[in-house]
Structure 1
Amino acid sequence: MGSISIWHWLIVLLIVVLVFGTKKLKNIGSDLGGAVKGFKDGMKDGAQSAEPPAPPPQQVTAQKTTTDANTVDVEAKTKS
């Protein structure tokens, strides 16, 4: 009672074909196949042309060589 037999699937398939039509289903299938192929090609191209990441920029370190008590030492950081 709980399982779906082959007859149930055939009835569902018949209803889907009647609602959408064979031409519409064929177009949907070819569009889906083209999308999957494009995705695979994109993944293949992305893996081949991947460049190693650039090294991070060097950090500026503060040196405690100032003798004036009124001097404020700060680091300038760029916004990335």
Structure 2
Amino acid sequence: MTLAVPESPRRAEPLLYKVSEATGILRLSRSVIYELIRSGRLRTVQEGRARRIPRSAINEYVALLEREAGESE
């Protein structure tokens, strides 16, 4: 008798990222991420004492960069 190994379900992308995770996603340094947060270019949320970056905020930031690149052309 052969047992079938079930396929593992795909892990859903997280909705909130730590700053350290956002550095990997955006390929930016920790200090640049914090400067973007301070300047209001990258939105964050507070969960208790932890600051998190919503996936939607990362998408919004990339869209902002694309718009700015289009304006300079």
The answer to whether TM tops 0.5 is no
Structure with more contact order per residue of length (Cα contacts < 8 Å, sep ≥ 6): 2
The normalised TM-score by structure 1 is 0.27
Write 1 or 2 for the structure with the bigger share of helix: 1
Higher radius of gyration, 1 or 2: 1
